[in-house]
Structures are given as structure tokens and as C-alpha cells.
Chains A and B, each alone.
Chain A
């Protein structure tokens, strides 16, 4: 590097040298015939004699004589030495170096920076890792690969979305959007999840909009984790940023790539169900009872497994054709992608078609133009699911084992319903569902103009527009729509985002030791959305799927507009490429804040020091690289549109008159921007000539002045006051170990481990609000946010145990009236006085990826893991309440409706002076006492579905084989690769139920830990073929 710098200085100084013999040649990239420009060619032992290759990779250098050796070096490639001998022409190929420290990382505004010069935490994932998973939603492909980043999928419904959280929840508001900013080729795009039913909706697993991007078009994804990294993107990146670079055309031969894959998808984890008892109640047979609590099913009678019946095998077919080519002046890239998917439940499918074209044109040495357009069309259908009990999964989990679920219709064509409380899941899926279709265009155009060799201007403008049509149907033949006599909702959502980025960059080597890069920029963002929903009830005709079929209907419109103007500056100073200082400042003006507060400034400063350089360790065989980073940054954040003050809204017409009313929400007129303040410290080390790299990072991020909808006392006349209040702190430790474990001949084994430990704390709450409670599953468990607590804290009730050290009964269950007591009820402890029983977030999580290659084979597997954190299985109460589920230990199922004596002790003394004696009271284990009406058993966290959600998961395994080049040389093909990939092949978890990492509430919400009601995630095995020609 020092050498490189010297050369650079000399070239700038106009020095040159003269030697005895002249060597000419061309340097190409090892993997292609493309020339490599900018390769440093040095005469060994004579560091003052060097040149750089030209645009085509050509060079010419004079050397001392035949004994000279030329050293070819280039960032990202392995350095090669070539003895001159008597050659006059040297044409060589440089091999790409997988283990360099000078990886090119894409950061804000699409800038490519050397990882070495970065002063903050960024982690990049390359295309092949994304594509080899075959995940149609590229966000799922990032799972387990990036430290500090947690990704949860919303289940296995075709088109289901995924949630990404970078460095923890930073809002007190359970329904706040905690998603990072998504940027494609320098222009932000929407990753909104327009959940049916609003944020926090749970009935359909709607897609997060980033999933529209064809994974095959992605070249790399960088995750900017902290405020220092994302400061330049301003307020929309206060939760971090995900920077996507898409593929672009390469000069040279036109290549075509065709990739196809087909999958087999199956539900891999289902809750245990009992098959011992049929329909009835308290052991008495009743064929119309919804409960499976009748007498034991006689031997020989057919029983049915609910899950075997309802789940089918799903398939995904992905086909992608892309072509790329061009000249030095103009390049072109085009792709056509198609995904067809059928789900694991009835009436569930999804398809997506994507078209992308991208081109660039270099009109002169100064001006470069580029542009791209991406069109996406997707269509999907999914049956209703969700936490409410009226969903396909819920009905299946409550279906009695002695009823054939495939007996769907009565002879007259109506639904066969053995109980008035339940719909047949197949019938329900066909009659309560949502259809969606989406059309989206993402386009951008950019120009880059070099005024001089050190000053350039980059301007880029982009648009992201989508229109999403949804039709939710509940026919009157299903229970949920019986009262309303059928309901339909037709919704049209549109979203339009226009971005304009202007960036002026000056880059100068100030002196021998100091280099400076200064950028000044302007960003304008204009976001408009509309939501027009026509909905109503009272079907006129039984099968006419249109709002025009309704006897009663309303139409509502929710337009929004949000505009942001930002101006920013960024200065990077480096000293000897050893110390890097980066200072940024940005001012934003947002339309959503009060006039007096809508302009706000926030700075960042960050520093990196490559101390190994100072210590002269770069050639050390054991420890060759060490870098320290530190940064402080702030990012502001504006409000959602239209939160200020109060307004009135119109009511639906009643008796021919439509009234108006004042809104129940009032926003502070003096709302200020939120701020996220972060300190980050990092350490990067490399050992054994980069064979082992360590990147450790510790960050403390405080989100202050949060804009929170504070629930207010109803007598204020309002339900909600939107104001600045509260603070959350996230402390995160991120660790990435990257090792080339083995390299012997053609065999390589690389291993990357990432680890995240996150601790969040509520520092303060809005004044007067002690606690914000989230309890959709009352009275089982609840989540509470309160000062000193941690977001995701669970509260609930434990079984009572004797707490009398020294007493032989110590630790045993307290039995009251024959049944285990809960929450120390025997002492009179009220239920309101509950206990902190856990947290929805893990103690730590991470992923471990291993990739092997041997000749034409490559093989990789990725484990991900989370330790600790509890999830609440909502489905458990559905299966227990109707007695269909296997009880926690199995024993209760065995003993149902029989007399048992619980193993525990009862108090024969007083509350103050208890006397513990062995429990001898026989009680009957029946459904009313255990699972349904009483407050006794279902409250206990030991039984009610609340469980440890630790998971070790074999997330992805991929094996591929490329036909040997020698075999292909006589064909038009340059590469043919066949692959087999598996996702979710294996997992182990103490959690009993569906997958514990599958949130019941949709992407984009802050609600975690409630699981078990969505269409479950699948194990998928893909067979793929990739052909390049």
C-alpha cells in the first residue's frame, strides 16, 4: 500500500524513469478475458519504477534487464510476480482474491469504498449467497448472515413478508415501523408492508415490498447498521439502511444466463395433537360438540391427523433469464424473472414476474450516463388466518380427530359443519381469503460528470411507484361473515416516491501524507400514497366477488403526502492511508413537522486507525492487520404525515344523514424530530495473512424524544396524544469471525461466524404513563414497556410453589382445592399483581456459514441460532380450549376425565404460618377445569403456551456442481451448474408448536414473540440449473 501511494505521488508529480528494456503487455481479470484497468505494475526492488494499466489493461514499462521481476497488484486480486526473462510481451491474468482486506463496499449514495477506509460498521453480503438460498424474498436470504441484524419471516404463506430489525427495537410504540431504509442503486425504494387491517395486522401475511426485487438481479447487499453509517441518508435511515446494488452490464462478450429451479415445500414442524378422544364434553359423546372431549375413540375407528389433512406439498418454480454485454462506451443488462408458487394450505398461491433493463453510456471521458427500469407484477391469494381464531390454521387445530376434514360438503352443496362453532378448514379457505395483485415500476437515471480529475458531480433521480389491489372476501357461508351476511373489501393502495440526489465530490491528495475527499449533496424526497377502500356487507348473490354485490357499503380514502429536503456535507481526511477521519453533517426539512421545528441538523464524526500500519505489522506472518474504529453520530427522524393538531372526520351515513366528529387523536403542535444518538467502537483484526479476520463492534444507541402516540385517559376527550416522549437504549455487541479454515490444492473451506448480543432498556417513559401494555392475548400473557424494563418484557402468572427454605416442602407445587395454584392465589395475591416471566428477544443470536469448494463442486451450509427469549404460542389455547391438542406432558391427555391427585402440598395452616402437608385431594382432569373457562390452569405460564424459543436451525444447505470447462469448450456454454438446495432442513428447539420464529403480527410492526397462527413456514428443497452462454 505504501508503495502504491508512492507511485501515486510520483505519477502526480510527473516523474518518470527510464530503463534498458521495455516490456509491454495486458493484464486481464482471471475469470474473464476482460482487461483490468488501474493495475499497478512495479519492478521488484525498484519501487520508484512503476506504471498503471490503461483502460484495456494494457501497460508498458521499462525494466533494468532480464533478471528483473514485475509485480502486478490490484485491489481485490492476488498479487502476482512474473520474472521478465527474455520476454518482451507479458500477458497475465490476475486471480481474484477472496481474502483481501480491500474489499469494495457499497455505502451511502452508491459510493464504493474500500473496507479498509471505513470508519463505521458495514457488512456486505454478495449475490451468490443470496441466490444460492433460492429464497424468493431476498430479505429471507440475509437471515443469519449479518451481525446485529435480526430477520423474522411471517410464515410460509406464498408471498409472506419478512421483518428486519437492525440493532433492536427503538420505539416505545408497539405499532411503530422499525424498518431500515432500503436503497437500490443509490435511490431509496419502499419496503412498506401495507398490512391488511393496518400495522400490527395479523389476518394475512402481506408482503414487505422489498420482496418485489428479483433476487437474481441483486449484485450485493450492504447493511449500514448504525447512525454513523447511515447519517448521510438522513432521517429515513435512522433505523439503519440496507443498500442494494443490482447487476449491470459488463463490457465484452454478450453473455446470457438462464437459471431455473423447482422446489418441494412442506410444513416441517407441527404441534402435537391428541387422537384419543372424539367429539363431546366431559367424557360424554356429542357429535355436534366442537370440543374433542368425548369418551375415548373406540379401537378400530378411523382417526385423522389434523395437520396431515390440511397441509399439502407446495411448490416454487423460479425461472430467470438475464443477458449482459456492451463496449467500453455502452453497457446493457436485461433480465426476465418469473416465480410461480403454490402454498401448503388450500387456496394459496403467488406468482411474480419481473423485468429489468439497465444501461450505461460513456459519452466522453467526463460524462457517463446510466439508467435502469424495473417492472414487477405479482398476484397472490391466501386464506384468512390470524390470531382471532377464525382462520384456516385455527380451525384445523380445533377440528376433532374423529371427523374427516375432507368431508367438506353436505349432499345439498352446503358446508358440512359438525359443530356450529367451527368451519371446515378447506371450506373456510375457499370462502374467506384475500386476493392481491401488484404492479410496480422502479426506475432511475443518473449522470456522472467529471469537471476535473478531482472534482465530479453525480446526479441521480428515481421513482418508485406501485399500485396494489386487494380483494378480501368472506362469504356468508362462513361463520365470521354469517352475522354480516358476507363481507367484501376492495382496496387500492398506491405509493409513489420520487427521489432526487445531487452529489458534488472533490477528491485531492493534499500532501504526501494527507488525502481529502469532500462531498456536498442535496436530496429531495417526495412520497405520496393513497388508499381507497370500498367495503361492506350483505351479499346479494352468493358467489359474485365484487363490492357491487353488497347491500351495504362504504368507501373511504386515506391520502398522504410527505416531503423531505436534505442538504449534507461529508468530509473524509486520511493520513497516510492509516488514520481516517470522517465528519458529516446533514440538515433536513420535513413537511410532517411544525413549521418552527421542521428544520433540523445532525452531525457525525468517526475515526479509524490502522495501528498495524504504524507498528509495521503488515508483513507479519501471524498478525498482519489491526484497525480501531470509533464514532459518534446522531440521526433525526420526522413524524408520520398529518399527526399535528386535531381534525374532524366524516361518519358513515346513518338514517340518510352523515355526521362528522372530532378525531380521537391529537398531536402536539410543537412536535420535535426524534433523535437517535449512537456511539460505536469497532476493532478489526487479521491474522495469518488474512486467513482469519475478526470484526468486533460495540454500539450504544439511544433513541430520544420519540414521537409516540401516548394513550391518554379517555376523559381528556381523546384516546391518543402524539408527542415527544421517552427514550430507549440499545447496546449491541456484534462479532464476525471470517476464516479460511483450509486451503489445500483445489479444496477450500471458508467459515464465517456472526454473533449478536443485544440489550435494550427503556430509559424513560412519557410523563404520566407508567406502562404501555400490549395484551392481545389477554388473559394469558402480556408484554409491558416500562421504565427500567426491556422492550418485549413478558408478564404473566406462574404456578405457585412453596418458598420455605429448610422445609421439606420447599419448591413443591402448592395445591389448592386439589388443583395446582397459580400466582400465589392461596395467599390472596391478585391477578393484577403478576410476575416478569421473560422477554421476547433472545439473549444472543447469530449464524455460522461454511462453504467448501473442491474442483467443480461447491457445498455450503448455514446454521443460525438464537439462545433464550420466550415466545407465546397462541395456537396452544386454540387446541387446548377445544381439547384437540396434546396436553403439555401428554399425561393430562392420558388421564383426561379421570380422578388424579396432583403431586404437591396443601396448606393446612394459615397464610401467615403455613403448614404444608401432602396433597391427597383427588380431582378430575377435565377440559373445563384445565383449558377453557376457569382462570386456574391456562393462566400458568408453565402450561399456557409460553415457552423458551431458543432455536438451532440448519437454515440453508447448498450443493452445486459445474461441468468442467474442458467439457464445455466445444459447446456454446461457458458455464453449466446444477444445484440442490435445502432451506429449513433441520431445527431443534425446546419450543412445542409451530416454528417459534414466525411472528403472528406482520412485518413492519414492533410486536414480537406472539406465534403460531400464521400459515406455517416450510422446509423447501430446490433443484436448480444455471446455464451461461
Chain B
């Protein structure tokens, strides 16, 4: 018996002593991927999808500020920190894009870094336009900097965004990488690895950038027009991410297919589309039944008055449904489109080359309508309607900006346009503040609040931020 005991003890000790090292080296998760296993072709599709989430996140509630949609407390100008933009950008899109840039530069895969810089510049500009000052140069450093300070909006514009855009152009012009497997860009869900299209996209974003910057540097207007002209040639070039039935567009779940819809089209956009707005009066816009679903084709379409909550106004009879163009399951999230570049050109050349401005205005309308499937005959009829057709001399800035407004339906870029003109009634006729305005002093909203996530976790916050302070770009 004693023998048995001793042998058992020895056997057990041997088992445990021998196994000790193995037992303790067991802290790597078999269900996850190590940093070394990550590759550029697997990061790219994530980065593109995160960019879509970022662009959608900016507009999800933000689309109430340019009065595309109405129906929630945010539309009554209650404080809002755009967390639907902040988190997807800083924890998803930015880290993934920067990761791609770092890896691609190390491997000499400038095709990938060019794409990543393009998308990062696009997203960073959206962030700057909404928050003004925002972390960039101290951001994305993990534990090396847990309290990233904010870069000035001016520095974001004059140094970082343009730096990325210049870098993107340069990278996309570089020779293909020597590593065979990286020579073709794989898993590119947007352009299928077509670098020429990416180059056009950079130029489109540059056009948007210089148009914004022209608020500070009027000379940038000409550059904006040049870049726009060198960018997209048709709707086929649009920078956008399409969705699929199994992974529907986020608008589909949020509005299109929602049982209790949190928002409805606002009266401003509905009035404009149905010929009852401040411009294009009496013209029934063929995009209305495509943009939204009407309760009946015979009734007058009524949108929700900004400031009212969904359900408060029983006369509202249009809504976003699974068949509305932007809230379909398979709808794309639009980052920047050919139509927008045409309106950039129209605006930029309005005072310097009216003929070209007018031509771009018409191309913009046509592109917008073609994009959403308006029949050719209807497009022609619309463009020939005197209220729209105009002439180079009768064309006004109002026409350009309102047609851009309609073309960029549900896109957050329009809010930047409105703030560039400081909600000018001459540019946006009949634009009114929400009937319920919860910000003191009944102001227009100028920017996002500080992101709700930030106070309490970042010790380097800007002070004095209110939603009524005018951002540097718009001052």
C-alpha cells in the first residue's frame, strides 16, 4: 500500500511539475488574431465599412440640422455630442486606416496607403466640420497618450487634412509594390482596386476641401473648381459603399424598416420637392416619390415641421420606408458624388465663369436624378421647367445651393454648406429655426457639443464649448 502511495505521489508530482510551464503559458486567445497575422487586404474592407459607419453616424441624427429629417429632441436643438460619429471614427475608422498606412508604408505598398489616406482625409474633414477642434496629432497612440489634446480646426485644415490629401495623391502615383501579393489591391469593396478611380476620388475630396477653405482663402475657390473638374466624370465614379440584403444599409434598420420610425422627412425638404418651397415653386420634383414614401399619390405631401416630434403632427403623410431610395436595404452610403463635384464647380465658378457654372448646375441636377433612377424624360421635363432651367444670367446662388441641397439629401455635407452661409435666408429661402428650440437664446446650432464620451476620461479638453459658438471655418 505504501508503495502504491509513493508511486502515485511521484507520478502526480511529475505530471504537475512537467506541466507547470505549459499550464502557465496559456494566455493567448485561440479565438482571436495576433497583430502579426493581420494583413492589408483584410484591413481594407473593415476600413471601408468603418468609413461608411462614420459617414452614416454623422448624418444619423445630424441630418436634422440641415432639416432633411425631423422628429427627435435633437431637432429641437437639445444638446447633442454626435457620439454616432465620434466613436466610429476614433475607435474604428481612424485606427484601422492609420494601421493600414503604417503597414503599407513599411511594406512599400503605396497603393494601399494611398487609399487609406484618402478615406482618412475624408473622415477627418467630416470630424473637423462638426467638432472644429478635434484630436489628431496626439490621437490614436493607445496607452502612450491616454489624454490626447485637441488640434485646432485651423491646423486640421491647413496641416493635417491637406497633408493626407497630398500624401494620398503622391502615394497613388507611386510604382506598385515589389511584393507580388500586394501589387493588386484586394478586397476593395468600393472600386475593386481601380487606382485611377481612387485618384479621381482624392481630387473630388480635394474639391470639397478647397471649397470649404475658400471661406478663409478666397483664392481656394479656383482650386476647388480645378480639382472638381479633374475628379469624377460620371455617377459611375462616385465614392460610396453599397450594402447587401444580408448586411443592410444602417438607414434601413434605423428608419426604413423600423416599426416605430424616430424621424420623418421635414417640411422644408418636402415643401421644396413639391414646389411649395422658397424656390422652384410649382415644380413637382420627380425625386420626391423616390426619396420618400407618400401615404397617397393624390394628397398634398406634408413633412414634419422641424422641432416637432414624430406623432405630434397628424397631417404628416410622408415617411422613409424600405422602398425609399436612401433607406433601402441595398442602398449605398454616399461619401462624395459626381453630382456634388458639379455643384462645387457651379458654386466656385459662379462669380468667375458663369457659363461653366450654369453648365455644372445642370449636370449636377441631371446626375442627381439619374443616380436615383428618375426616367430620362422626367429629367428632361424637370430641367426644361422654367423655374429650374433658367439661364446663365438668371442663375442665382440660391438655385445652386438649393439644387445641391436636394441632390445631397440625407448627407451631412449639406450642414457644412448651410453653416458656410450661416443659414442665410438669401441662400436658403424660408429656412426657419425649429418651432421648439431648447438652446438658450434661440440660436442656430453651429457645431456639435463636446462628445458625450469625453468628459471624465480625457483631461485635455477644450473649454467653453457650446453648440452656439461659430467654428473657425465659418467665422
Within residues 439 to 493 of chain A, which ones have a CB less than 8 A from any CB in chain B? 447, 449, 457, 459, 479, 482-484
Interface string of B143-165 (1 = CB under 8 A from A): 10111100000000000000000
Does A713 interact with chain B (Cβ within 8 Å)?
yes
B24 touches A590 (CB 8 A): yes
**A100 in contact (CB, < 8 A):** no
Q: Are A768 and B90 in contact (CB under 8 A)?
A: no
Residues A721 and B143 in contact, CB atoms below 8 Å apart: yes
B451 neighbours in A (Cβ, 8 Å): 714
Please measure, in the bound complex, the distance between the C-alpha atom of A721 and the C-alpha atom of B457, giving whole angstroms: 11
CB contact list, A638-677 vs B, under 8 A: 641-642, 644, 646-652, 654-655, 657-664, 666, 668
Given the known interface contacts A659-B43, A664-B91, A714-B86, the answer about A565 and B247 at a Cβ–Cβ threshold of 8 Å is: no
Q: Does A329 contact B (CB under 8 A)?
A: no
- B438 and chain A: residue at smallest CB distance: A935
Q: Which of B27-35, B57-65, B107-115, B353-361 touches A?
A: B27-35
A residues 690-722 in Cβ contact with B at 8 Å = 711-719, 721
CB of B258 within 8 Å of the partner chain: yes
Residue of A nearest to B461 (CB): A713
Which residues of the other chain, B, contact A712 by a CB distance below 8 angstroms? 146, 457
B141, A717: Cβ atoms closer than 8 Å: yes
B27–A717 touching, CB < 8 Å: no
Query: Which of A449, A714, A715, A773 gathers most chain B CB within 10 Å?
Result: A715
Partner of A654, one of B138, B189, B259, B457: B189
17 interchain pairs, CB-CB under 8 A:
A421-B260, A484-B253, A500-B16, A551-B246, A591-B24, A647-B34, A655-B247, A659-B47, A660-B43, A715-B135, A715-B138, A717-B91, A718-B91, A718-B142, A768-B146, A773-B456, A933-B73
Nearest-neighbor residue (CB-CB) of A531 within chain B: B31
**What distance in Å separates the Cβ of B398 from its nearest Cβ neighbour in chain A?**
36
Chain B residue numbers with a CB within 8 Å of A114 are none
Q: Does B179 contact A (CB under 8 A)?
A: no
Partner of A716, one of B86, B141, B459: B141
* Residues of chain A lying within 8 A (CB to CB) of residue B34: 647-648
Q: Which residues in A have their C-beta under 8 angstroms from that of B214? A: none
Contact string against A for B residues 253-269, beta-carbon threshold 8 Å, 1 for contact and 0 otherwise? 10001111000000000
6 additional A-B residue pairs with CB within 8 Å, beyond A560-B29, A648-B33, A651-B46: A420-B260, A449-B5, A654-B49, A658-B42, A715-B139, A716-B139
Q: Taking the complex as formed, is A855 at the interface, i.e. its CB lies under 8 A from any CB of chain B?
A: no
A666 and B91 contacting across the interface, CB-CB below 8 Å: no
A716 touches B247 (CB 8 A): no
Q: How far is the CB of A152 from chain B (nearest CB, A)?
A: 29
**B33-49 to A contact mask, C-beta < 8 Å, 1/0:** 11101100011111101
Q: Which residue of A lies closest to B95 (CB)?
A: A717
Q: Does B25 contact A (CB under 8 A)?
A: yes
Q: Does B94 contact A (CB under 8 A)?
A: yes
A18 within 8 A of B: no
Give bound CA distance, A208 to B175, whole Å: 61
Instruction: Tell me the complex Cα distance, A593–B25, Å.
Output: 10
A residues neighboring B (CB under 8 Å)? 363-364, 366-367, 420-421, 447, 449, 457, 459, 479, 482-484, 500, 502, 522, 524, 526, 538, 551-552, 557-563, 565, 589-593, 598, 641-642, 644, 646-652, 654-655, 657-664, 666, 668, 711-719, 721, 768-773, 933
Cβ-defined contact, B35 with A648, below 8 A: yes
| Interface residues in B447-473 (C-beta closer than 8 Å to A) | 451, 453-454, 456-459
**B46–A714 CB distance below 8 A:** no
Chain A residue at smallest Cβ distance from B73: A933
B309 within 8 A of A: yes
Which of chain B's residues have a CB closer than 8 A to the CB of A646? 35, 142
Number of interface residues of B (CB under 8 A): 72
Name the residue of chain A whose CB is nearest to the CB of B127: A715
Contacts A659-B43, A713-B147, A717-B95 hold; do A641 and B27 have CB atoms under 8 A apart? Answer: yes
**Which residues from B are CB-within-8-Å of A662?**
35, 38, 95-96, 99
How distant is B60 from chain A, measured CB to nearest CB, in Å?
16
Q: Which 10 A-B pairs have the closest CB atoms?
A: A659-B46, A715-B135, A713-B458, A659-B45, A714-B90, A648-B33, A715-B139, A563-B23, A642-B29, A717-B95
Given A663-B32, A716-B145, A721-B143, A591 contacting B5 (CB threshold 8 A): no
B47 surroundings in chain A (CB, below 8 A): 659
Contact A657–B33 (Cβ < 8 Å): no
Could you tell me if B31 and A500 are in contact, using CB atoms closer than 8 angstroms?
A: no
Beyond A661-B92, A714-B451, A769-B457, is A648–B32 a contact (Cβ under 8 Å)? yes
Residue of A524, A660, A663 most packed against chain B (CB within 10 A): A660
Q: For A420, A562, A648, A719, which residue has the most chain B Cβ atoms within 10 angstroms?
A: A648
> B20 at interface (Cβ–Cβ under 8 A)?
yes
- Chain B residues with CB under 8 Å of A717's CB are 90-91, 94-95, 98, 139-142
In angstroms, how far is the closest chain A Cβ from the Cβ of B366?
29
B297 proximal to A (CB < 8 A): no
Given A657-B45, A717-B142, also A559-B187 (CB < 8 A): no
Query: Which residues of chain A are within 8 angstroms of B189 by Cβ–Cβ distance?
Result: 654-655, 657
CB < 8 Å: which of A644, A647, A659, A769 contacts B44?
Answer: A659
Asked if A562 and B26 make an inter-chain contact with CB atoms under 8 angstroms apart, the answer reads yes
- Supposing A647-B29, A714-B451, A716-B145 touch, asked if A591 and B260 sit within 8 A by C-beta, the answer is no
Whose C-beta in chain B lies nearest to the C-beta of A669?
Answer: B143
Q: CA A538 – CA B146 in complex, angstroms?
A: 42
B259 engages A479 (CB within 8 Å) = yes
A713 interface neighbour in B9, B16, B148, Cβ under 8 Å: B148
Q: Which residues of B contact A642 (CB under 8 A)?
A: 27-29, 32
A483 in contact with B49 (CB, 8 Å): no
How far apart sit A558 and B32, CA to CA, in the bound complex (Å)? 9
Query: Which residues of B272-329 are within 8 A (CB) of A?
Result: 309
Chain B's closest residue to A655 (CB) is: B189
Chain A nearest Cβ from B440, distance in angstroms: 9
Chain B neighbourhood of A560, CB < 8 A = 29
Bound complex: CA A479 to CA B90 (Å): 33
Task: Give every chain A residue within 8 A of B135 (Cβ-Cβ).
Answer: 713, 715
What is the distance, in angstroms, from B57's C-beta to the closest C-beta of chain A?
A: 12
- Which of A484, A641, A660, A713 contacts B33, CB < 8 Å? A660
- Do B258 and A526 touch (CB < 8 A)? no
Report how far A719 CA is from B146 CA in the complex, Å.
11
Which chain B residues border A641 with CB–CB below 8 Å?
26-27, 29
Contact with A along B98-138 (1 / 0, CB 8 A): 11000000000000000000000000000000000011001
Specify which of A367, A598, A773 is in contact with B24 (CB 8 Å cutoff): A598
The answer for the CA separation of A551 and B30 in the assembled complex, in Å, is: 28
Say yes or no: A714 contacts B91, CB within 8 Å.
yes
| Cβ distance A780 to chain B, nearest Cβ, rounded Å | 15
Q: A500 to B12, Cβ gap below 8 A?
A: yes
A771 to B23, CA, bound (A): 38
Q: A648-B38, A662-B99 are in contact. Are A559 and B31 (CB under 8 A)?
A: yes
Cβ–Cβ < 8 Å partners of B181 in chain A = none
The smallest C-beta distance from A563 to any residue of chain B, in angstroms, reads: 4
In the complex, residue of chain B having the shortest beta-carbon distance to the beta carbon of A719: B91
A714 touches B453 (CB 8 A): yes
Residue in chain A with minimal CB distance to B242: A655
- Neighbouring A residues of B91 by C-beta, 8 Å: 664, 714, 717-719
| Bound Cα distance from A363 to B5, whole angstroms | 13
- Closest partner residue, chain A, to B33 (CB atom): A648
Contact B459 A768 (CB under 8 A): yes
B223 contacts chain A at the CB level, 8 A cutoff = no
Cβ of B240 within 8 Å of any chain A Cβ, yes or no, is no
Q: B87 at the A/B interface (Cβ < 8 Å)? A: yes
Q: With A and B bound together, what is the CA distance between A666 and B143 in angstroms? A: 8
